[in-house]
Chains A and B, each alone.
Chain A
Amino acid sequence: MTQTEKTSRPGFRVIGSSPLRQDGVEKVTGRARFGADIHLPGLLIGAVLRSPHAHARILAIDTSAAAAYPGVKAVVTALDLPELESKIADIGEASINQRYQSNNILARDKVLYFGHAVAAVAAVNGHVAEAAAALIKVDYEVLPPVLDVRAAMAPDAPILLEELRTAELGDHGTGPTNVAAHLLLETGDIARGFEAAAVVVERAFTTAMVHQGYIEPHAATAQVEADGQVTIWCSTQGTFGVREQVASILRLPLSRIRVVPLEIGGGFGGKNNVYLEPLAVLLSRKSGFRPVKLTMSRKDVLAATGPTSGSVITVKLGADAAGKLTAAQATLIYEAGAYPGSPVGSAMDVIFTPYRIPHVRIDGYDVVVNKPHTAAYRAPGGTNAAFAAESVVDELSERLGLDPIAFRLLNGVHEGNRKVDGVAFERIGLLETLEAAQSTAHYRAAAPGRHRGRGVAAGFWGNYGGKSSASASVNADGTISLIEGSVDIGGSRTSIAMQLAETLELPIETVRTTIADTDSIGETEGTYGSRTTFATGWAAYEVGQKLKVGLKERAAHLWGVTAADVDYADGVFRSGAEHMTFAGLAAQMDGTGGPVVASASVQPSSWGPGFAVHIVDVEVDPETGKVDILRYTALQDAGKAVYPDYVAGQMQGGAAQGIGWALHEEFIYDGQGRLLNANWLDYRMPVSLDLPFIETVIVEVPSPSHPYGVRGVGEVPIVPPAAAVANAIYRAIGVRLTELPMSPGRIVAALRAQDR
């Protein structure tokens, strides 16, 4: 059940309620159009030829047989892409080398992972396109693959990218390397900090590469007109990001590209990057301006998109005899995949942040390996980092004889404390969330019994602000049409509309939301970073304020007063003895100056971070190593939960993904770097049978950085689960697992090692 701790200010009328979502009926009846559901007259279907090798030089590509195949309309290779210079560009908020981005769309000189796209075909149907793609002959010189970060860092390792040098904040190394970057965060003096410690725990952890696992495969359709105008229909987390990336890769002006969002079947960070969109544009252009649709198979999705980094992490923590943390040190080595850009930086931002620690040093390494280029995955890097740190925190609290939540309360951060990078927290809700966890029925219930254990972990995620735009017009009957630019992956049309309705003090039913294409709304960053309800909701709030100003002027006209004399409250405009409802005034727009419309764009300069605490009971079968999740409670500071049912959904979904990551999910490569489990039977995500109901407790410590106190909620719930499950397994069987996933085989092996 969902339970909300009432610590926020009362008096909201729409925020905090549970209206039915605006896109609900379309989605339960099958009428909603997702990425692959578009059909256009004359539509061609594309297919992509992918590399069977993890690391190879491309010597030659012969597309003649494919081009001659009946029904084929176009064939493209990297030669059809503009050759881009190596240049780091800020695309949205991510820094990306545009050349690598282009090479990831279609390999130019080298393939760098199994599944790397090499060529693409458009044909009259998908069967023809696939048959033709199979006729493309690629001459490869196969190179030894580098599949592990430790091997990649070895002095004699094969080099993936000849020109790569280790970057160190504006400086770089001199020789070829697979280490794309070294990052460092440091405060105080860890030597002194560890000297002051009475107890020190140090452990090493490894985690496997995992995939976001959205159920909808990538899909993109493009139509290029003879004058060069491009329209793209796709399922993406961010239409403006698609426009920017396609413009950069294809060297097109932004105004030449219109991106039309379709509904999106999950993204979790994996649908920010483009894969198919530039190919669809190239193929449409080359096939005589016919529309071209490309969709990925599940195998392609797993082999060539998305994953997040596997990692090797060491953590050392010290505390004094009273249980106060004195020092922390970590080294994080993250797989970037084929091109630089692992989330090691955000992992470093997460790893010790829940705690006040005077002396800290964190080293991070971004390392390229012959695996797909990693993409963001929900609180990128955070799950791995928290698995390591929170396991050690648990061990330390046990060694000190302290309850794990009491230990965290003793050391937890609050307003005014500084993060390792020196920035001080505004009002945050970690301590409140820990206290709420302590008082749950779950935590107070008796210990769960033989071969069972209860684990706890905390997690931090900084959240994000970003650019958002919204506009709205008042209709003559008093309803409001709201237009905004954030694609809706989980109820955000409604949560944004709720903030406009709240601002106007009107029922939610008066506001209807449309998500606009890139030509029809101001720039809006993607639905990522837990930012949509926060930032686009803020834009809607600003729109509401402006509409009120506009309507007050109309009332002033009618009543012969000045706008400053008009008040608005509870849906009624008043001045002296005059009063008129919102709808009444809306009916008078025609005759007092015509339509009332408003638009607003925001780019918040701060955003409230989120904290989560998860509690889990597990049972471990010591014979088989199977772990059952018996009970699970997720707690989180949401600032103010705008749409609580969907906040709870984010918490449950994040917990479920984290449980899969903890127990089953991993990419399995053979020695040649071929992905062996590119299907859902072998890449095992949680099914309904694997999970209990997931209890949720929403804590509300309003963020000072939002008009309604909202904090982003989507990402932090995936931070604690792996650690919480590991800590529960330890309490059940007395063994600390330091490798993800904690699959049955690893648990049995750990138990055997303990017996010896």
Chain B
Amino acid sequence: MATKTQVEAVINGEPIEFLCEPRQSLLEVLRDTLGLTGSKEGCNNGNCGACSVLIDGALVNACLVLAVEIQGRQVTTIEGIATPDGLHPLQQKFLEHAALQCGFCTPGFIVAAKALLDRNPDPSEAEVRQWLAGNLCRCTGYDHIVKAILAAADRPTGAEAHP
């Protein structure tokens, strides 16, 4: 068995130490070693965004990052989005807008949307759609997801002006 490396990082605000093999992805360690199964594996090769996490605030696919690479860094997963007082506004809006059907893609979309709103608090529909292009949802047709994110950004939704 390969030798294990010790990694220290901050995950969802908690300092954490773990041992991992050099070949293990961050997604594998989050899910299997740390029990953070909110990040999902849909493809394991960067095509679906179900494993979206933030590393030092930047949106990445955890399946494409080696766990050893997070040494000394801050990681936010879906488990770290809600506050002790309640849901994050994105989570609340996803519920209010029925933005999930099966819910498997949902953690990835919420993390990705948080990264967008942290950067651009007032995105247009086009900007939301552009930003989400790396996240696959097979159930919803994206309609309610885009509306939920626009609502979380306090944008009026449903104002689809057709000529």
Contacts and interface: CB of A to CB of B under 8 A. Distances in A.
Are A and B in contact, CB atoms below 8 Å, in the complex?
yes
Interface of A: 1, 18, 20-21, 23-25, 27-34, 36-37, 39, 71, 127, 212-217, 263-268, 295, 297-298, 441-442, 445-446, 489-491, 631, 645-646, 648-650, 652-653, 655-657, 679-681, 685-689, 691-695
B95 A680 contact: no
Interface string B86-129: 01000100111110111111110010000000000000010011
A28 B1 CA distance: 37
A295 B42 CA distance: 11
A679 B45 CA distance: 9
A391 B113 CA distance: 39
Contact of A30 (B43, B79, B125, B130): B79
B158 interface: yes
Nearest to A32: B103
B156 interface: no
Contacts of B162: 441-442, 445, 631
Interface stretch (B3-11, B54-62, B67-75, B134-142): B134-142
30 contacts: A24-B100, A28-B107, A29-B81, A29-B82, A212-B138, A213-B138, A214-B104, A215-B50, A215-B136, A263-B102, A264-B102, A265-B40, A266-B102, A268-B138, A298-B45, A298-B48, A649-B140, A649-B144, A650-B101, A652-B141, A655-B141, A656-B141, A679-B43, A679-B47, A680-B43, A685-B136, A685-B138, A687-B133, A687-B142, A688-B128
Nearest to B108: A215
A490 B136 contact: no
Given A25-B95, A214-B102, A694 B79 contact: no
A490 B42 contact: no
A657 B79 CA distance: 30
A265 B100 contact: no
A649 B38 contact: no
A23 B45 CA distance: 29
Contact of A687 (B31, B45, B132, B143): B132
Given A36-B41, A268-B138, A652-B141, A646 B106 contact: no
B35 interface: yes
B146 A688 contact: yes
Given A37-B37, A127-B23, A489-B101, A28 B141 contact: no
Nearest to A18: B98
The A interface is mostly helix, strand or loop, or mixed, namely loop
Contacts of B31: 36-37
Contacts of A266: 101-102, 104, 138-139
B129 A688 contact: yes
Contacts of A694: 141, 143
A645 B140 CA distance: 11
Contacts of B160: 1, 692-693, 695
Count chain A CB atoms within 10 A of each CB in B128, B132, B135, B139 and give the residue with the most: B139
B145 interface: yes
B129 A33 contact: no
Contacts of A267: 102
B49 to A, nearest CB: 9
Contacts of A445: 162-163
Contacts of A652: 140-141, 143-144
6 A-B pairs with the lowest CB-CB distances in the bound complex, closest first: A30-B38, A265-B104, A656-B141, A27-B103, A30-B78, A490-B101
A298 B141 contact: no
Interface in B15-49: 21, 23, 31-32, 35-45, 47-48
Nearest to A655: B141
A622 B162 CA distance: 24
B105 A215 contact: yes
Nearest to B81: A29
A67 to B, nearest CB: 18
Helix, strand, loop or mixed for chain B's interface? loop
B141 A691 contact: yes
A545 B90 CA distance: 39
Given A215-B105, A648-B144, 19 more contacts: A20-B96, A23-B103, A30-B36, A30-B39, A33-B37, A34-B37, A36-B37, A215-B137, A216-B104, A264-B104, A297-B44, A441-B162, A445-B162, A652-B143, A656-B138, A679-B43, A687-B133, A689-B130, A693-B147
User: Which of A21, A212, A687 has most B Cβ within 10 Å?
Assistant: A687
A694 B103 CA distance: 20
Contact of A31 (B23, B38, B102, B138): B38
A688 B145 contact: yes
Nearest to B37: A37
B104 A215 contact: yes
Contacts, number: 193
B47 A29 contact: no
Contacts of B101: 266, 489-491, 646, 649-650, 653
Contacts of B41: 36, 217, 295
B60 to A, nearest CB: 17
A217 B44 CA distance: 11
Contacts of A27: 100, 103, 106
Contact of A1 (B79, B142, B145, B158): B158
A30 B42 contact: no
Contact of A693 (B78, B143, B163): B143
A490 B104 CA distance: 11
A32 B163 CA distance: 42
Contact of A298 (B42, B128, B142): B42
A445 B87 CA distance: 41
B146 to A, nearest CB: 6
Contacts of B38: 29-31
Contacts of A31: 38, 79
A688 B133 contact: yes
A657 B101 CA distance: 14
A39 B35 contact: yes
Contacts of A263: 102-104
A5 to B, nearest CB: 18
Contacts of A680: 43, 47-48, 136
A629 to B, nearest CB: 11
A631 B98 CA distance: 21
A502 to B, nearest CB: 19
Contacts of B98: 18, 21, 491, 645-646, 648-649
A410 B60 CA distance: 55
Nearest to B142: A688
B141 A29 contact: no
A456 to B, nearest CB: 17
B102 A490 contact: yes
A298 B43 contact: yes
A490 B98 CA distance: 9
B155 to A, nearest CB: 13
Contact of A215 (B21, B35, B77, B138): B138
B145 A216 contact: no
A28 B138 contact: no
A653 B1 CA distance: 45
A216 B146 CA distance: 21
Given A30-B77, A688-B129, A25 B87 contact: yes
A301 B77 CA distance: 26
B99 to A, nearest CB: 9
A37 B40 CA distance: 9
A34 B40 contact: yes
Contacts of B106: 27-28
Contacts of B133: 687-689
A29 B91 contact: yes
Contacts of B140: 649, 652-653, 656
Nearest to B134: A687
A655 B47 CA distance: 22
A20 B104 CA distance: 17
A43 to B, nearest CB: 10
A490 B132 CA distance: 21
B114 to A, nearest CB: 12
B159 to A, nearest CB: 9
A36 B139 CA distance: 19
Given A265-B103, A649-B101, A688-B129, A24 B141 contact: no
